[in-house]
Structure 1
Amino acid sequence: QASAAHTAFCTRGTYIRYLRARSWNLAKATKMLLETLRWRAEYQPHALHWDNIKQEGARGKLFILEQPDKAGRPVVLMRPSLGHGAPGNAGWRRLTAAIATSGSRLVLGWDECMTWLVDYVGYNSKNSPPIKVSLQVLSILQNHFPERLGCAVSYRPPTLFNILWRAVSPFIDPNTRDKLVFLSAKSPPGA
Structure 2
Amino acid sequence: MTVEIPKGRVQTLSASEQLHLKQVWAHLFQHWGIAVQSEKVLNGAGTASTGAGAAGNGSGTSNASKEEKQNSKPGKKAASKLFGKFRKGSSNSENSKASSDRVRNGSFTSRRSAESVEQMYPAGMIHTALKDLKADEVSENFWDMLRTDYPDNLILRFLRARKWDTDKALGMIAHTLHWRLKESHPDAIIRGGELEAYKNDETGYIKNIELCKATLHGFDLKGRPVVVVRPKLHHSSDQTEEEMKKYCLLIIEQARMFLKEPVDSATILFDLTGFSMSNMDYAPVQYLISCFEAHYPECLGHLFIHKAPWIFPPIWNIIKNWLDPVVASKIVFTKSTDDLAKYVPNNYIPKYLGGDDDYDYDTFVKPEESADAKLKDTETRDKLLKERKTIIDSFIDATKNWIESSDDETSAKWLKAKISISQELTENYRQLDPYIRSRSTYDVNGTLKV
TM-score range, shorter chain: 0.7 to 0.9
Paired position in structure 1 for 2:166: 26
- Aligned pairs for 1:154-173 (under 5 A) are 154-159=305-310, 161-162=312-313, 164=316, 168=320, 173=325
- Aligned pairs for 1:29-44 (under 5 A) are 29-41=169-181, 42-44=183-185
What TM-score comes out, normalization by structure 2 length? 0.37
**Pairwise CA distance, 1:149:** 0.7
**Pairwise CA distance, 1:72:** 1.3
- Of 146, 157, 171, the residue aligned with 2:297 is 146
**Pairwise CA distance, 1:134:** 2.5
Give the number of equivalent residue pairs.
186
Paired position in structure 2 for 1:9: 145
**Pairwise CA distance, 1:61:** 0.8
- Of 269, 275, 280, the residue aligned with 1:117 is 269
Paired position in structure 2 for 1:79: 230
State the SS of the aligned residue for 1:182. Answer: strand
- Of 88, 105, 130, the residue aligned with 2:241 is 88
Task: Give deviations 1:6-62, integer Å, cap 9, x for gaps.
Answer: 323262122100111111111111111111111101211011124335843211211
Contact (CA 8 Å) 1:62, 1:94: kept in 2 or not? no
Contact (CA 8 Å) 2:209, 2:247: kept in 1 or not? yes
In structure 1, how many angstroms separate the alpha carbons of the residues matched to 2:185 and 2:339? Answer: 43
In structure 2, how many angstroms separate the alpha carbons of the residues matched to 1:25 and 1:57? Answer: 39
1:45 aligns with 2:186: yes
Deviates more, 1:29-38 or 1:159-168: 159-168
State the SS of the aligned residue for 2:241. Answer: coil
Q: 1:87 to 1:166 in 2, by over 3 A?
A: closer
Q: 1:165 to 1:34 in 2, by over 3 A?
A: same
Paired position in structure 2 for 1:60: 212
What TM-score comes out, normalization by structure 1 length? 0.82
In structure 1, how many angstroms separate the alpha carbons of the residues matched to 2:177 and 2:301? Answer: 23
Paired position in structure 1 for 2:221: 70
> Where is the strand percentage greater, Structure 1 or Structure 2?
1
**Pairwise CA distance, 1:95:** 1.6
In structure 1, how many angstroms separate the alpha carbons of the residues matched to 2:163 and 2:253? Answer: 24
In structure 2, how many angstroms separate the alpha carbons of the residues matched to 1:8 and 1:26? Answer: 23
Paired position in structure 2 for 1:102: 255
Structure of greater Rg: 2
State the SS of the aligned residue for 1:126. Answer: helix
Contact (CA 8 Å) 2:194, 2:209: kept in 1 or not? no
Paired position in structure 2 for 1:137: 288
